[in-house]
Amino acid sequence: MRKSPLLVLMAVLLTACGGTESPAPQASGSAQARTLTLWHYEGADSAMGKAWAEAIKKFEASHPGVTVKFEAKGFEQIQKTAGMVLNSDEAPDIMEYNKGNATAGLLSKQGLLTDLSEEAAKRGWDKALSASLQTTAKYDERGIMGSGKWFGIPNYAEYVMVYYNKDLFTKHNVAVPATYEEFTAGLDAFVKAGVTPIANAGAEYPAQQIFYLLALSKAQRPWVDSYQLYKGKVDFHGPELTYAATTYADWAKKGYVDKDSAGIKAEDMGVAFMSGKFPIMVSGSWWYGRVQSTVKDFEWGSFLWPGNQMAPGSSGNLWVVPENSENKDLAYDFIDITMSKEIQNLLGNSGGLPVAADPAAITDAKSKELVENFNKLSGQDGLAFYPDWPAPGYYDVLVAGVQGLINGTAPDAVLDEIAAPYEENLADIGG
């Protein structure tokens, strides 16, 4: 019997894949050759990418004999596979992971993340981070954020602000508003001139953040604690959400947001603003670096949503140390370096929003504006997290709800629609 050439080919190929399989085992413990495996998913040109590249350099300089094996990951890959990876011996020593109950909270509940409480106290991370930033770093035994043990350390923060096109503001004689009344008067002026004032994206997060801003304008901190941390009952037909729904519907009618914006995606909204088509975009600091580097044709600036004590915002994603990490001590050292003034200032000067920078060291004018607005918001305890956080899958519920408002569904019906999944989740977690 002759061997088929196909079989031979296959055998050769299979041997070829077998050859390079398992990576060399890590020599943990020995002083000479240690490796810190590090994963994150920030772009190399982003503020975090730049700051962390510098942190790796600093770490290697202060830890002779340790090499950092950095692997750039995709957000989706981490989001989908983290639970499985961390439960195996392929887990990295330190990684960036998504904040929130469904992500970091869930993994902490499953015992896959290392408790960082002791290190946080010893190294002073707990003092460097303000109270509302700590909310997303701590998780209780149910995996719900806000209290309990430290499972992650955020390096950066984010918040939602109003980006505006200074050229269009001057052209239409609109001043930067200090109060909510001035703000709506400005919006009216744009509408009168035939310009849709606010770039909106109903198919993704931007529309619901405007909705949440409107609710926050009537809310106090206890309402946010009830809504986000289940510390009390939320009345979906109470003054906060009723105001938000009716006002949003009203805004769509008045033409503050485009009537066709229900199907627009965030990326298109950003591009439309950056090409100068809209005077205003309401969105998060994650756009800041990009707006800064792309917009060349007009002057732009940002301000906090007028009249609000609070705005959507929180810490950024977290450094977590997997329970299966073989080099936890090195991982702690690395986090400590990312929290140092030098790295934090670099993050701030690259267009990011540092959590523990020295405000005087932020030299870039635009970055200064970003950091100062954040400090103002954070100083008045104004980080109210994001509207889709309270329940799994709530993001899509809110997208559909706000799209309804844009398309003319009655506000009351929309409130019922978004109340049901929230209450259901509340019953599930026994809140």
Partner 1 sequence: MRRYSLLAALVVLAFVMLFPFLLVGLNAFKSPEEYSSAGPLAFPDGLYLDGIVAFWERVDFGLKLWNSLLISACVAVGAVVLSVLNAYALGIGRVRGRLWILVVFLVANTLPQEALVYPLYYLAKQVGLYDSRLFVILIFTVIQAAFGTYLLSAVLGRFPAEILEAAAIDGAGKWRALWRIVVPISRPTLSVLLVFFFIWTWNEFFLPLVFLISNDNQTVPVALGVLQGDRLMDATMSSASALLGIVPAVVFFLIFQRTLTRGIAVGAIK
Q: Which residues bind partner 1 (CB under 8 A)?
A: 1, 4, 6-7, 9-10, 13-14, 16-18, 21-23, 41-44, 46, 71-77, 80-81, 84-85, 88, 90, 98, 205, 266-267, 270-271, 274-276, 284, 286-287, 290, 293-297, 317
Q: What are phi and psi of 354, to 5 degrees?
A: -70, 155
Three-class SS state of 283: strand
Round to whole Å and give the CA distance between 244 and 138: 30
For CA atoms 270, 274, 279, 282, the dihedral sign is: positive
The beta strands (E) that lie in 121-165 are given as 138-139, 149-150, 153-154, 157-165
Q: Which is nearer to partner 1, 97 or 251 (CB)?
A: 97
**Whole-angstrom distance, CA of residue 156 vs CA of residue 190:** 35
- Identity of the residue, 120 or 199, whose beta carbon is nearer to partner 1 in the bound complex: 199
Tell me if 149 sits within 8 A of 341, measured CB to CB.
Answer: no
The three state secondary structure string of 261-282 is HHHCCHHHHHHHHHCCCCCEEE
Bridge-based pairing of strands 149-150 and 300-303 is: unpaired
Nearer to partner 1, 205 or 227 (CB): 205
Backbone angles phi, psi at 319, to 5 degrees: -85, 125
Reduced to 3 states, what is the DSSP secondary structure of residue 138? Answer: strand
Task: List the one residue out of 38, 75, 76 whose CA is nearest residue 57.
Answer: 38
How far apart are CB 253 and partner 1 at their closest, in Å?
28
Hey, what are 22's tokens? 């398992």
Report strand pairing: 34-40 vs 94-97. parallel
Listed residue (251, 272, 377, 390) closest to 314, CA to CA: 377
Compute the least distance from the CB of residue 91 to partner 1, in Å.
9
Q: Which is nearer to partner 1, 50 or 73 (CB)?
A: 73
Q: Which is nearer to partner 1, 153 or 234 (CB)?
A: 153
Cα–Cα distance between 305 and 259 in angstroms, integer?
A: 22
Which lies closer to partner 1 via its Cβ, residue 74 or residue 194? 74
Residue (23 or 408) nearer to partner 1, CB: 23
- Decide whether 185 or 271 has the Cβ nearer to partner 1: 271
CA 265 to each of CA 163, 249, 258, 268, 269: distance values in angstroms, whole numbers, following the listed order = 17, 19, 13, 5, 6
> Least CB distance from residue 83 to partner 1, whole Å?
10
Please, what is the minimum distance in Å from the beta carbon of residue 103 to partner 1? Answer: 11
CB-CB contact of 145 with 101 (8 Å): yes
Smallest gap, in angstroms, from Cβ of residue 352 to partner 1?
13
The minimum distance between CB 315 and partner 1, in angstroms, equals 13
Least separation in angstroms between residue 45's CB and partner 1 is: 8
In this structure, how many other beta carbons lie within 10 angstroms of the beta carbon of residue 306?
Answer: 17
Distance CA 55, CA 125 (A): 16
66 or 85: CB nearest partner 1: 85
In the bound state with partner 1, the residue whose beta carbon lies nearer, of 265 and 328, is 265
- CA dist 91 and 36 (Å) reads 11
Indicate the residue among 295 and 400 with the shorter CB distance to partner 1.
295
Q: How far is the CB of 175 from partner 1 (least distance, A)?
A: 26
- State the minimum distance, in angstroms, from the CB of residue 15 to partner 1: 10
